[in-house]
Amino acid sequence: MKNATHKTAVVTGASRGIGAAVARRLATGGFNIVVNYAGSADAAKSVVQDIAAAGGSAIAVQADVSDAAAVRQMFKTAEAEFGGVDVLINNAGIMKLALIADSDDALFDSIVAVNLKGAFNTVREAANRLRDGGTIVNFSTSVVGLNLETYGIYAGIKAAIETMTSILAKELRGRSITVNAVAPGPTATDLFLDGKSQEAVDRMAKTSPLERLGTPEDIANVVAFLAGPHAR
């Protein structure tokens, strides 16, 4: 068992994008990290290697978050390796955009499976297993406020996540566990960039007062604050 005296964070979808940045950032803060991934084993391994090279402690654990049994096994693996789990960063997600009128059942079901059932599977496990004093951070999106066309299914589910976040915070009363959601704006990852023209990317970047896309590190710093001692 490695670093059993350190706190441990499970970061879902940590092989790439925002999750990988969160994993690296929390590791620098002394957390043992579970680098969860679905398909990108090599990318997850390289995040683990980066953390180890910087003096941290991490393991990669494959689990499709839409599979409740796999999520349960991931938490068991984390507990066996590190002695317990303190933090869940519920970051794994996919984005598929379409007008509601054009969305078929398969599109709807695929987004619900990962972004809603996956988030539910992981927060349910965390609610039952996190040590007292822990933290859960869920992921919403700025589109919940912007209400952009073609984001109907994706942002509708993220709105549900925000509501679930507030209710879970109340349900965990008495255990000193905080539950929050972050709602990034356009952030330079595959999820945002894939399938967009440079013109569309530039236009969306300009909507921010900083006139640039967010970076995964921007979001990771906010998550690190929420997971740390100053965000109680």
Site string for ligand NDP, 161-190 (x = CB under 6 A): -----------------------x-xx-xx
Restricting to residues 65-124, name those near ligand NDP by CB under 6 A.
Answer: 65-66, 91-95, 114, 118
Order of strands, sheet of 58-62, starting from the edge strand that comes earlier in the sequence:
58-62, 32-37, 8-11, 87-90, 135-139, 178-182
Catalytic residue among 144, 154, 179, 186: 154
> Does 191 help bind ligand NDP (rule: CB under 6 A)?
yes
Q: Which of 74, 192, 220, 226 binds ligand NDP (CB under 6 A)?
A: 192
Q: Are strands 135-139 and 178-182 parallel, antiparallel or unpaired?
A: parallel
Q: Is 37 an annotated catalytic residue?
A: no
- 57 in contact with ligand NDP (CB under 6 A): no
Cα 151-223-148 angle, rounded to 5 deg: 15
Candidate list 6, 7, 8, 19; residue touching ligand NDP; CB under 6 A: 19
- Kindly state the DSSP code that residue 97 receives in the 8-state scheme: -
Please tell me the distance from the alpha carbon of residue 91 to that of residue 101, in angstroms, as a whole number.
28
Distance between CA atoms of residues 89 and 122, nearest Å: 9
* Site for ligand NDP contains 18 (CB under 6 A): yes
* Tokens at 47, concatenated: 């995040």
Catalytic residues: 154
Summarize as ranges the residues that interact with ligand NDP (CB under 6 A): 12-19, 36-40, 64-66, 91-95, 114, 118, 139, 141, 184, 186-187, 189-192
